């Protein structure tokens, strides 16, 4: 048997088990793909592990586990967003004047390495992990694998492209306001945003410390689960870490699952092609055989919480995260859009910060009641439309506000979420582009959400296949 190049985790496990390939051969193939894809899109990576180091790592694994039981991620290539520390690599957060050489590897990355994964490199992102379009980086703008005229989504832009272009099996990124879910929909991927504080954020440069969530991008729900099972643990040295008691809920669903969708006034914001695919998806969800039943509920606390992220004093958390840098450098060396966000953040008072914090607590409690009384799962379009690169060039801030319509509230009201690729639409060049939806549920329902996604996907419209050759 020969390896067919499939980088999904079950395929690699099978190929290693039957001798079809070895980690060294996979690394050689992956590095060749990385070089070839760089001719199409040179903005995916910030740092790539040298061929000699990557091959040495593969050989080390082969020797260490010859004839032995393999660890969970044995020989699986992965990438890491360049806001997460990897020892001896520069952590830049897409800002060269901020960059430092990491002295230690973040626990979330080390756990993958300890389970046999092979790091290929660190990926491009929007500066300071601030944005949803994928544009704000001095290292270039990664493009959607479906059409290079379109944005990749952000802020975990390079992470998404590295997976969608079949350069790695999965990527570790972060999601504060949609930074995993947006790139997922734009590149036909699964984006798993787990329960807040269930994955260690030590060694991760914070964008907004209380709303950051280390997350996973993969091509399948199963691969996202495999990575999440490795990186999720209680890190008592992380001051925000959550005890495992939150996961005591059984990963099960009632016989009839009650779901809700956003109100018509918000769904009217979908672009025409997005709206058509959404209606196709909705018809499948509403079908009697789906096992789902649509419920009436109050969406207003979700909407109100969504506005808090960038429309209140909450944005000043970003000033806290980069306070030392800003005192030394100001905003002159930042991308203009990022600088504008920081400048806007400076006008808030402590009184406003507490007022907004108390408002958010109220929204969170109301969301809890909606799930208790009316909902099992909230299902939303992941975003409202797919922006072109040239559109973001003209309006660098507009995209951020528009694209987060259904993403920004999730972490603020303590929901876990999984973005899944469903359906396709055709752009003005006749190319098939991906659409996607996001399933959201209360904290601790991560496994239940992944199971529901796997149950729904076979009966939902399929996405097109991107040409990544």
Q: How far apart are CA 126 and CA 230, in angstroms?
A: 26
* 344, 318 Cβ separation under 8 angstroms: no
Torsion angles phi and psi, residue 388, rounded to 5: -85, 155
Residue keyed to tokens 């004093």: 313
Q: Where are the alpha helices (DSSP H) in 174-316?
A: 181-186, 221-231, 264-267, 272-286, 300-311
Residue 334 CB partners (closer than 8 Å, separation 6+): 95, 127, 128, 342
Catalytic-labelled residue, pool 15, 79, 81, 193? 81
Q: How far apart are CA 182 and CA 355, in angstroms?
A: 29
* 143, 132 Cβ separation under 8 angstroms: no
Catalytic-labelled residue, pool 152, 159, 169, 179? 179
Torsion angles phi and psi, residue 297, rounded to 5: -160, 175
* 9, 221 Cβ separation under 8 angstroms: no
Catalytic-labelled residue, pool 79, 155, 157, 208? 155
Residue 306 CB partners (closer than 8 Å, separation 6+): 404, 405, 406, 408, 409, 412
- The DSSP code for 71 is P
Element spanning 372, H or E: helix 350-373
Residue keyed to tokens 């992380």: 238
**179 an active-site residue?**
yes
* 197, 240 Cβ separation under 8 angstroms: yes
Q: Give the distance between the most distant pair of CA atoms in the chain.
A: 67
Return the structure tokens found at 266.
């918000």
Q: How far apart are CA 447 and CA 272, in angstroms?
A: 33
Return the structure tokens found at 68.
């032995």
Burial class of residue 301 (count of CB atoms within 10 Å of its CB; 0-12, 13-18, 19+): buried
* 230, 176 Cβ separation under 8 angstroms: no
Three-state secondary-structure class, residue 293: strand
Residue 112 CB partners (closer than 8 Å, separation 6+): 73, 78, 119, 172, 227, 230, 231
* 247, 444 Cβ separation under 8 angstroms: yes
Return the structure tokens found at 268.
């009217």
Minimal CA–CA distance to 387: which of 373, 376, 401, 366?
401
**345 an active-site residue?**
no
Catalytic residues: 81, 155, 179
């Amino acid at each position: 048997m020969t390896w067919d190049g499939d980088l999904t985790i079950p395929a690699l496990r099978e190929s290693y088990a039957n001798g079809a390939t070895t980690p060294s051969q996979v690394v050689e193939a992956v590095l060749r793909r990385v070089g070839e894809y760089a001719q199409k899109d040179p903005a995916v990576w910030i740092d790539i592990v040298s061929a000699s180091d990557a091959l040495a790592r593969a050989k080390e694994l082969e020797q260490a586990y010859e004839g032995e039981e393999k660890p969970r991620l044995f020989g699986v290539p992965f990438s890491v967003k360049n806001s997460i520390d990897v020892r001896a690599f520069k952590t830049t957060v897409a800002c060269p004047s901020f960059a430092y050489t990491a002295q230690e590897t973040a626990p979330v990355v080390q756990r993958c390495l300890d389970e046999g994964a092979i790091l290929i490199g660190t990926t491009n992102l929007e500066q300071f992990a601030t944005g949803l379009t994928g544009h704000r980086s001095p290292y270039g703008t990664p493009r959607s694998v479906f059409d290079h005229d379109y944005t990749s989504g952000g802020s975990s832009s390079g992470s998404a492209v590295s997976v969608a272009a079949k350069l790695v099996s999965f990527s570790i990124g972060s999601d504060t306001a949609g930074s995993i879910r947006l790139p997922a929909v734009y590149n036909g991927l699964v984006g798993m945003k787990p329960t807040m504080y269930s994955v260690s954020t030590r060694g991760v440069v914070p964008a907004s410390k209380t709303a950051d969530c280390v997350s996973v991008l993969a091509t399948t729900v199963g691969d996202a689960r495999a990575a999440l099972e490795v990186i999720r643990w209680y890190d008592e040295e992380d001051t925000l870490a959550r005890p495992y008691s939150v996961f005591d809920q059984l990963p099960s669903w009632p016989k009839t699952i009650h779901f809700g969708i956003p109100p018509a006034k918000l769904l009217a914001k979908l672009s025409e092609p997005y709206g058509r695919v959404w209606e196709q998806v909705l018809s499948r969800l509403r079908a009697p055989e789906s096992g789902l039943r649509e419920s009436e509920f109050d969406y207003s606390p979700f909407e109100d919480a969504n506005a808090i992220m960038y429309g209140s004093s909450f944005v000043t958390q970003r000033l806290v995260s980069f306070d030392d840098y800003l005192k030394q450098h100001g905003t002159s060396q930042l991308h203009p859009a990022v600088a504008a966000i920081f400048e806007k953040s400076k006008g808030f008072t402590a009184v406003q910060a507490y007022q907004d914090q108390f408002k958010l607590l109220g929204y969170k409690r109301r969301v809890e009641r909606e799930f208790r009384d009316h909902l099992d799962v909230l299902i939303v379009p992941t975003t409202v439309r797919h922006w072109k690169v040239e559109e973001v060039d003209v309006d660098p801030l507009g995209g951020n506000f528009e694209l987060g319509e259904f993403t920004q509230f999730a972490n603020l009201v303590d929901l876990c979420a999984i973005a899944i690729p469903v359906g396709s639409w055709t752009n003005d060049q006749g190319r098939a582009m991906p659409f996607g939806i996001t399933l959201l549920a209360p904290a601790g329902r991560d496994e239940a959400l992944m199971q529901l996604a796997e149950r729904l996907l076979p009966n939902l419209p399929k996405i097109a296949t991107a040409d990544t050759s």
